[in-house]
Amino acid sequence: MLPENLKENAVAASLEHLVLTGNTDHNELTLELVPEKILGALRILKEQRFERLASVTVVDRYPMEPRFEVVYHLQSVSRNLYVRLKCRISGEKPEIDSATAVYASANWYEREVWDLFGVVFTNHPNLTRIMMPDFWEGHPLRRDYPVHGYKYSYQNE
């Protein structure tokens, strides 16, 4: 359900049937939706001249559940607008559809998210590590991963 104050907003209204909730805190439009609807929402936004996907990232709310918030920032250059889409997914089986089918630039951003958070993007053309070495175990940007890693610990010295 779209909050009352967003019904006037053209971008939010066009996604009304997909959106769970939304806000315009700090003058930034945020729309939250269920993970299954993300590709549909991206397609609708692309038709509305949101030419570029500026970034894909994740906020880890560990130990809350569902812990991962997948965050998409889209920009419409011709309309000079930004919009943020957000999907919450659980830590049990972190999976979401890949946005590469709609925006090519999602490719590296999703690889980065997979590498650092372990969120799986289904139907991604090449979901491999991009920042960490290939042999790395674990996903370092998760909140339950220690800052100094597992191998080298200051506490053991």
Partner 1 sequence: MTETLTTTEKPAHTRRMILNMGPQHPSTHGVLRVLLELEGETVMKCTPDIGFLHTGIEKQCEALNWQQVITLTDRVDYLANLSNNLCYSLAVEKLLEMEIPPKAQWMRVLLCELTRINSHLVWLGTHALDIGAMTVFFLCFREREDILRIFEMFSGQRLMTSYIRVGGLALDPPRGWEKRVKTFMDTLPSRVDEYESLLNTNPIWLKRTKGVGLLPVEEMLEIGMTGPCIRAAGIPMDARKMMPYSSYDKFNFDVPTSTDNDVYARYAVRVAEIRESIKIVNQAMAGMPEGPVQAAAPHVVLPDREKMKTQMESLIYHFKIVTEGFSVPAGEVFQVIESPRGELAYYVVSDGTAKPLRVHMRTPSFGNLQALPNLIEDRMIADSIAIMGSLDFVLGDCDR
Q: Which residues bind partner 1 (CB under 8 A)?
A: 25-26, 28, 30, 51-55, 57, 59-61, 71, 73, 77, 80, 82, 84, 103-105, 107-108, 116, 126, 128-134, 140-141, 143, 145, 147
Strand, helix or coil for residue 67: coil
Min dist CB 78 to partner 1, Å, is 9
Question: Cα–Cα distance between 135 and 27 in angstroms, integer?
Answer: 42
Question: Cα–Cα distance between 61 and 88 in angstroms, integer?
Answer: 10
β-strand pairing of 95-97 with 120-122: parallel
Locate all alpha helices (DSSP H) within 56-96, ordered by sequence.
none
Locate all alpha helices (DSSP H) within the chain, ordered by sequence.
10-14, 38-47, 106-117
Nearer to partner 1, 24 or 36 (CB): 24
Which residues touch 7 (CB under 8 Å, ≥6 apart)?
13, 16
Min dist CB 20 to partner 1, Å, is 17
- Two structure tokens written together for 10: 């053209």
Min dist CB 141 to partner 1, Å, is 6
Min dist CB 63 to partner 1, Å, is 12
Nearer to partner 1, 14 or 30 (CB): 30
Nearer to partner 1, 18 or 59 (CB): 59
Nearer to partner 1, 62 or 95 (CB): 62
